[in-house]
Amino acid sequence: MSSPAALREVNGRSERLGKVVSAIPHTIGSGFSARHFSEEMFGGHMDPLLMVDHFVMTSPTFDPHLHAGISAVTAMFEDSTGDFLNRDTLGHNVALKAGDLYWLAAASGAAHEERPAEGARTHALQIFVNLPRRLKNEPARALHIRAEDVPVLQGAGYRIRVLLGRSNEATGADGTPEEMTMLDGCLEDGRFSHQLPEGRQAWIYAVSGDLAVSCQNEERRLKAGTATIVEAGLESEIVLASSEASHFVLMAAKPIRESFVKHGPLVMSTEADVRRTLANYADGKFGRIPA
């Protein structure tokens, strides 16, 4: 947990809000386009998030692939059309709908395949969430949250879906490996306030529009395709405001602050862990993806 003394010092004072970071455009063929963020772009202050891709997929793009040491999360936006088909080595064969969330806690290792159904247009976030060392070798498991089960906060100029955790009087799903809050929110000439508990770090992304993010007398302006962070520290209020139609995502959790080794979609504590995981996958120890 951070203390105020551990925060970045700017002109002799502690600063909670990070810089504004622009996504990196990324395309694969004609069926996949994304705005990409990685933890390096935030100097490690995205923790526990490792990567976020804001993507549109209209045709199969990726072969079945292994994850380990992380959670691979798919958060479907409400304007997605058609099904996003998700199969994994846990035996699941799920047709994700608009507004759904699928959280694959890969941990010791799991493979999956995700592709849009024929004629579908998937609009979503793909998020890699790091796991602490003590959870990286646990058995894989998954959580599916259906759109109809997501509580909604609605008021003057705002509509906020509370997918995970708690905001104001709404409580979303739990069951993730570590506590996480995830808000999918829309503003239209409105203002919304979220209380960030002590020790939690937040990542805020402007999906569309233009919004102001305020915390402890600091402010950042986010245009579509940009993001910022709020450093962990004392309990504080995050205020999001926009004079136009804007869409944002806020994720908040305790930072892990542990060293790790990245090997593509494997994020383990040591190189030896990576080699062992790859060998186990080659030996078929993580099961099969359903036909």
pLDDT tens, 49-80? 999 999 999 999 998 999 999 999 999 999 99
Is residue 6 predicted with pLDDT exceeding 50?
no
- Whether 288 maps to a domain, the answer reads no
**pLDDT tens digits along 237-276:** 999 999 999 999 999 999 999 999 999 899 999 999 999 9
Task: Indicate whether 290 belongs to any domain.
Answer: no
Over range 115-120, report the average pLDDT: 97
Residue 291 lies in a domain: no
CATH code of residue 238: 2.60.120.10
Element (H, E) at 277: helix 271-282
Number of Cβ within a 10 Å radius of residue 89: 24
Q: Are 262 and 271 in contact (CB under 8 A)?
A: no
| DSSP per-residue string spanning 90-145 | TS-EEEE-TT-EEEEE-TT-EEEEEEEPTT-BEEEEEEEEE--GGGTTSPPEEEEE
Of 174, 176, 171, nearest to 132 (Cα)? 176
> Computed from CA positions of residues 7, 12, 17, 23, in that sequence, does the dihedral angle turn out positive or negative?
negative
- Contact present, 131 and 179 (Cβ < 8 Å): no
DSSP annotation of 270: S
Structural domains counted in the chain: 1
Decide if 223 is inside a domain. Answer: yes
pTM, to two decimals: 0.93
Residues spanned by the domain of 43:
4-282
Cβ(229)–Cβ(203) below 8 Å: yes
Q: How far, in Å, CA of 173 to CA of 102, rounded?
A: 12
Which pLDDT score, from 0 to 100, does residue 288 have? Answer: 83
Tell me the residue type at 151.
Answer: P
Tokens linked to 291: 């036909």
In a domain, 192, yes or no: yes
Instruction: Give the pLDDT confidence of 136-148 residue by residue, as tens digits.
Output: 999 999 999 999 9
Q: Print burial letters for 58-80: b (CB count within 10 Å at least 16), e (below 16).
A: bebeeeeebbbbbbbbbbbbeeb
pLDDT tens digits, residue range 179-230? 999 999 999 999 999 999 999 999 999 999 999 999 999 999 999 999 999 9
14 pLDDT band, cuts 50/70/90, is: low
Q: Does residue 289 fall inside a structural domain? A: no
Query: Average pLDDT of the chain?
Result: 93
What one-character DSSP code corresponds to residue 281?
H
> Which residues are paired to 214 by β-bridges?
219, 239
